[in-house]
Amino acid sequence: MPFRPFLFRAAVLTGSLIAIGGFAAATFAQDKSSDPAAGQQPAANAAAPAATDEEKPYHIAADGTVDWSVYNGFRRYNGICYVCHGPDGEGSTFAPALVNSLKTMSYDQFLDTVVNGKQDVGTANDKKMPALGSDPNVMCYINDIYAYLKARSDGAVGRGRPPKFEKKSEDYAKAENACMGTPG
Amino acid sequence: MPRLLRVSGTALALLFALAALPTVASANDDLLKLEKDPNQWVTPLGNYAGTRYSALKQINAQNVKNLQPAWSFSTGVLRGHEGGPLVIGDTMYIHAPFPNTVFALDLAHNGKILWKYEPKQDPNVIPVMCCDTVNRGVAYGDGMIFLHQADTTLVALDAKTGKVAWTAKDGDPTKGETGTSAPLVIKNMVLIGNSGGEFGVRGHVTAYDTKTGKQVWRAYSMGPDADTLMDPDKTTALGKPVGKDSGISTWQGDQWKIGGGTTWGWISYDPETNLIYYGTGNPSTWNPVQRPGDNKWSMTIFARDADTGMAKWVYQMTPHDEWDYDGVNEMILTDQKFGGKDRKLLVHFDRNGFGYTLDRVTGELLVAEKYDPAVNWASKIDLKTGLPVRDKKYSTEANGEDTNSQGICPAALGSKDQQPAAYSPETGLFYVPTNHVCMDYEPYKVAYTAGQPYVGATLSMYPAPGGTNLGNFIAWDAEKGKIVWSIPEPFSVWSGALATAGGVVFYGTLEGYLKAVDAKTGKELYKFKTPSGIIGNINTFTSNGKQYVAVLSGVGGWAGIGMAAGLTNPNEGLGAVGAYQSLSQYTQLGGTLTVFALPD
């Protein structure tokens, strides 16, 4: 598989997001010449729960089955973000507990911080959040990560791997491949 | 200089000519002498052979129970303190994690500070360090102290004053390249390896001139022969020539360019054969499905000529890694009886759970046995082919992307990580700090972006079945490939061991105990709880004729990341942190040096 450069379409995310259905979506496209309508389906957006609100961007069934978005958010979060923010969003001495942060942080603020990073370096602190806006492993799944953390923050999902989860849908897989620039 | 000078006229004339000159011994000659002096501790692993053995015996199995702290010193830095102190003459050199402070301490005055050096580094390097902002120590040679900073800068400091002599930049942190490993000085060169296997960094070892900082050679872990410094005909793998561009042919397309195989462990050196030995780390990404092939030469033991870097032999332990079993752990060089004959051996306790014994001259594989009975990803290693016999059930490749493979032993932390083992020539045994942890591993698709994480799996870790202990401290017979005794520890033993002629072996625990055990039986003789968990390596030396034992405590690193992460919620939870969560009930962060001695 050749490594193709990703083009981050929404370069400056603050306030200029491609917002669909109430959700901002980061889009990666590996092929500039492709038909924008077909080639740039934002996976993150496709994966996001249709619902209305960023207040409850997850679905958890009565028997505890979480939607794919939450499950995938768990996997992606605990593959990358946890190094600083601690497993399951519990926080660390390097970085704040996102289970707390998301109680007050808006979706836009969340996205802004992920995309552009943050710095608090001085005599007492050496905290540094990298700008992840160019990382497809984060940005293609940012809504999943948000859904997972929001569910954690609301206490709707506990620590560790959600034991029961919905399967990945075909639409999701398609959009994921488009965003990640990988063949199915 | 050859050891047997034939007494001819010319030789004599030369000898006289040399005698007339002021001493210009190379750093190597100097170090070869110094490493034989047990009163000092001049290289990170105590000597070039990496045995972490000391001939000192004032402290022995009878009196070690009277040991007590003599003085202590705060590094002023939180986070994980790996590595250990050096002692040259009556000066001790210690280091800290990021910001990588270095202190020279006067041993004659209970550690009075002779000088302090703190580099100014871009904090952007912090989030690209995978497993805490650790550093494994400084090196000494040529009257200088060499520090390998987090941002990959190699800096030479005047050992007497701390003044910077030169700096060299080894890599680019904006691409995820970082520095955590301890340098090693050989002859007039200082060698360092790189870190960043979780960011798609291509591993290499580089030799710099100790006087100028100019690059002498660089050997990559993968790529064309010109990069890997391999000779298709003369470099061998288990006795057979490796062939042309072996560092490319087992990769798909250009994947070798971001192939990992970083070199963040320890380097050993055999002055007789002039070969250096080290291991390479995991291939990038952690998702095996995405990188078909053996991924050579990740997960490999390398033997290279010290002067040129040319590879003499290689042995890939875990072809096509599926579990993050980096091969970087220390290579311990011993001269031992094997099958009744004197052999020059290399003993290596790999992350993959097998203890390997090889002929270090030829690279012949002699023994490969599990040093933790829990290991299940492979049933054994075929000594002829060198290949592990894998159990499909635990193959994250066979189970595939988006499948959570369960119950794999060991966990990605390995049956042992970088914490170096010790060898005592008196008992003929190896003393090995180990992990006893298993995992679930779910690989998934990732895309590569320079400087961004390139991991591709989520892991959960927990104690191996049938118990709750996360670690053991073991004594190992490398000829038989057998555990001689084993001490269960509640947490992973993440501290470098020390063996001494006094019949005592020392190690540290994650709760913070420094422990002394009987080298023959493993019986506990002494313990003392230091201010924080120990992930540093223990050393010993003398000052004013008296033997001391020293260790840096300061919990963190990978095992302690939950601690370093400041987790306070000890109930459920999985992951490495889950397994180590209750650690916060025993210890807290903070870097401290503790120096022990017998009462006067």
User: At CA A152, angle to CA B451 and CA A49, rounded to 5?
Assistant: 80
Tens of pLDDT, residues B329-365: 999 999 999 999 999 999 999 999 999 999 999 999 9
Question: Cβ A83–B456 below 8 Å, yes or no?
Answer: no
Find chain B residues with C-beta within 8 A of A175's C-beta: none
- Give me the phi and psi of B153, to 5 degrees please: -70, 130
Residue B42: pLDDT over 70: yes
**Please, are residues A171 and A178 in contact by the beta-carbon 8 Å criterion?**
no
Question: Cβ B575–A92 below 8 Å, yes or no?
Answer: no
- Of the pLDDT bands very low, low, confident and very high (cuts 50, 70, 90), residue B181 is very high
Residue A100: pLDDT over 50: yes
Question: Cβ B449–A168 below 8 Å, yes or no?
Answer: no
Give residue B554's pLDDT.
95
Per the listing, tokens 């902002």 go with: B133
Residue B122: pLDDT over 80: yes
User: Chain B interface, mutation test: which of A1, A28, A84, A174, most B Cβ atoms within 10 Å?
Assistant: A1
Tens of pLDDT, residues B529-583: 999 999 999 999 999 999 999 999 999 877 666 555 444 443 333 345 555 667 8
Q: pTM for this structure?
A: 0.89
- B402 assigned to active site: no
Mean pLDDT in chain B? 92
Residue B282: pLDDT over 90: yes
- CA distance, residue A53 to nearest chain B CA (Å): 28
Q: The complex's ipTM? A: 0.79
- CA distance, residue B24 to nearest chain A CA (Å): 44
Q: Does A6 touch chain B (CB under 8 A)?
A: yes
B210 DSSP 8-state letter: T
- Of the pLDDT bands very low, low, confident and very high (cuts 50, 70, 90), residue A41 is very low
User: At CA B62, angle to CA B61 and CA B65, rounded to 5?
Assistant: 85
Give residue B444's pLDDT.
95
Residue A55: pLDDT over 90: no
- Give me the phi and psi of A99, to 5 degrees please: -60, -30
Residue A9: pLDDT over 80: no
- Of the pLDDT bands very low, low, confident and very high (cuts 50, 70, 90), residue B462 is confident
For residues A40 and B279, the model is more confident at: B279
Q: Does A169 touch chain B (CB under 8 A)?
A: no
Provide the greatest CA pair distance for chain A. 51
**Please, are residues B193 and B267 in contact by the beta-carbon 8 Å criterion?**
yes
Alpha helices (runs of H) in B512-567, residue ranges in sequence order: 561-564
Catalytic residue among B151, B170, B324, B440: B324
- Nearest Cβ partner for B573 among A136, A159, A181: A159
